[in-house]
Structure formats: structure tokens, C-alpha cells
């Protein structure tokens, strides 16, 4: 167990509430995620507006994975002292754009002077029917949305000092909210792919106490690409047609790659955020 897991474990013993993408209290769903300079991004990789936007999108992704509709946000923003008023406006515009796109009200938070730009976002969402990681059932089909692998490639380019397209999912995650809310009633378990497919599958295996039978070999490039923010979910086979119809309607690629079996899945590939590779 790594140090961070050990740290989280201390609280899990206490509450049993930690471990999903977000915490559910009644109809409210709470997610809090850090988005720190030199941990989650480097400042020459993205504009300030893109950084602010992504810090919110990765939290909204957690809410979507729980079938929750984001409503409010709290922002803690630690800002380098040398930032100009124009820099601050660019940051604010990034937050406001995403808030507008997702109909989220920014209700509070904190701003401080710091050595680097460190953002912590809390998203407060509502769900009448939250989906957890522990609901996968034997014989469920397992699938993910979109294409995996491009974020890993783009990250490699960035580390080599190359430019990537401003349309890259690494810069602007393409959330699948409308599609996922529509099919949520058919889904047994879901999470978003932030740390790479293989690692998310291990999380799913642990939570649901299941294994997976893969239909095809999944390449390392696909399985270890983090920061994708695609949806990973399982559903009973009888809903296949309905889910395919919804994916067609919303123009979402769907990759049905395994079925749920008894057993356990473990991967040797762990923690595919670049920060974990860099710092541990």
C-alpha cells in the first residue's frame, strides 16, 4: 500500500464513506479534487483559462460518474504573487466559462498568495439515483466511452517540450454528461478514467469484488493512459440495445471490452497521473 492510500485508509476505517468518485449524503453528492501546478499541470502547457477550466471539469467528471448533476462550486485558488490583474481575469474567465456551460453557481471559497498556482475545487451535486463503484454484477458487460490513449501520447509530447493541439482531451476533457445521464438507469457501476483504464478496473474490481473476462487484449498504450476522463461502466446485457441507441444518438463511441466474472483483477500499472510518476 502506498503512503497516500495508507493516509486515506485512516479515514475509511472511520466512516466507510470514502472511496468513490464523490461522497453521497442524502441526495447531495460532494467531490473535491486538487489541481496543482507541477503536480497536475505545468504552466507552459496550458493557458490560465484552460487551467481553470480543467480544474473544474475533472471535478464535474466525478459528479457525472456518480450520476449527479453539479449545482454549486467552491474554489480555493492559491495564486502566485507576480500574477497581474489580467492574469487573474483569465483565470476567473476559465472558471466562469465552465460554470456557465454546466449551469453551476460558484458560491464561495478562498484566495491566497502562494509560490505557484494551486487550485482546489469542491463540486456540490444532486442525484436521485447515485451510481457507485461497488454495483458491478456477474455477467454485466464492461465498457468505456470514447478513445483512450491520446492523453498519454500528448503528455509525452509535452514532456519533450512539444506543443499539442488546444483540442487535446488532455487540455480540455470531453465529458460525456448528456449521454451518461440518459443511460444511468441501466448502469450498475461506474467511474471516470482519471488514472488509466487498467488502474480504474482494479478499483472497480476491489469495490465490486469481481473479476473481468476480456474479449480482446488491451494494449498498454490504451490501458495506461491517464487524464482521459472517459466513463467506465458496467450494465446488464439486456440493456445493450438501449445503451447502443443512446450512444448513437449522442454520437459517443462505445467500447464494450469485457464481461464481469467472479474473481479479482489486478494490474501492475498503477497511478497514471503524471504527478504520481514524477513525485513518488
Please state, in angstroms and as integers, the Cα–Cα distance from residue 9 to each residue in 1, 14, 192, 204, following that order: 10, 9, 21, 17
Question: Cα(87)–Cα(249) distance, rounded to whole angstroms?
Answer: 40
- CB of residue 197 to a copy of itself, shortest distance in Å: 20
Tell me: does residue 128 bind a copy of itself (CB under 8 A): no
- CB of residue 164 to a copy of itself, shortest distance in Å: 23
The count of chain residues that interact with a copy of itself, using the rule CB under 8 A, is 62
Tell me: does residue 38 bind a copy of itself (CB under 8 A): yes
- CB of residue 97 to a copy of itself, shortest distance in Å: 12
The contact pattern for a copy of itself, residues 73-102, with x = CB under 8 A and - = no contact, is -xxxxxx-x-xxx--xx-xx--xx--x---
Q: Are 64 and 81 in contact (CB under 8 A)?
A: no
> Site residues for a copy of itself, window 56-75 (CB under 8 A)?
72, 74-75
Strand 189-192 and strand 118-126: the pairing is: unpaired
> Site residues for a copy of itself, window 107-126 (CB under 8 A)?
107-115, 118, 120, 122, 124
Of 125, 126, 4, 111, nearest to 52 by C-alpha is: 111
Binding residues (CB under 8 A) for a copy of itself: these are 3-4, 6-8, 10-11, 14-15, 17-18, 22-23, 25, 28, 30-34, 36, 38-40, 72, 74-79, 81, 83-85, 88-89, 91-92, 95-96, 99, 105-115, 118, 120, 122, 124, 275-276, 278-280
Amino acid at each position: 500500500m502506498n503512503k497516500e492510500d495508507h493516509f486515506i485508509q485512516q479515514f475509511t476505517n472511520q466512516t466507510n464513506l470514502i472511496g468513490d468518485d464523490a461522497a453521497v449524503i442524502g441526495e447531495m453528492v460532494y467531490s473535491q479534487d486538487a489541481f496543482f501546478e507541477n503536480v497536475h499541470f505545468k504552466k507552459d502547457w496550458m493557458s490560465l483559462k484552460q487551467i481553470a477550466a480543467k480544474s473544474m471539469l475533472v471535478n464535474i467528471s466525478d459528479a457525472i460518474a456518480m450520476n449527479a448533476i453539479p449545482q454549486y462550486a467552491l474554489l480555493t485558488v492559491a495564486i502566485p504573487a507576480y500574477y497581474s490583474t489580467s492574469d487573474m481575469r483569465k483565470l476567473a474567465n476559465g472558471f466562469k466559462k465552465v460554470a456557465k456551460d454546466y449551469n453551476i453557481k460558484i458560491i464561495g471559497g478562498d484566495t491566497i498568495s502562494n509560490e505557484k498556482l494551486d487550485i482546489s475545487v469542491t463540486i456540490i451535486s444532486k442525484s436521485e439515483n447515485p451510481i457507485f463503484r461497488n454495483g458491478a454484477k456477474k455477467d454485466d458487460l464492461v465498457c468505456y466511452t470514447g478513445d483512450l490513449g491520446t492523453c498519454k501520447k500528448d503528455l509525452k509530447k509535452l514532456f519533450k517540450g512539444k506543443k499539442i493541439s488546444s483540442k487535446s482531451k488532455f487540455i480540455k476533457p470531453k465529458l460525456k454528461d448528456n449521454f451518461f445521464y440518459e443511460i444511468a438507469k441501466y448502469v450498475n457501476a461506474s467511474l471516470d478514467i482519471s488514472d488509466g483504464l487498467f488502474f480504474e478496473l482494479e478499483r472497480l474490481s476491489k469495490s465490486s469484488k469481481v473479476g473481468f473476462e476480456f474479449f480482446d487484449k488491451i494494449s498498454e498504450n490504451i490501458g495506461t493512459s491517464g487524464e482521459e476522463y472517459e466513463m467506465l461502466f458496467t450494465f446488464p446485457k439486456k440493456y445493450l440495445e438501449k445503451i447502443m441507441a443512446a450512444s448513437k444518438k449522442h454520437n459517443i463511441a462505445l467500447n464494450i471490452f469485457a464481461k464481469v466474472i467472479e474473481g479479482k483483477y489486478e494490474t501492475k500499472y498503477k497511478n497514471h497521473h503524471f504527478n504520481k510518476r514524477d513525485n513518488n
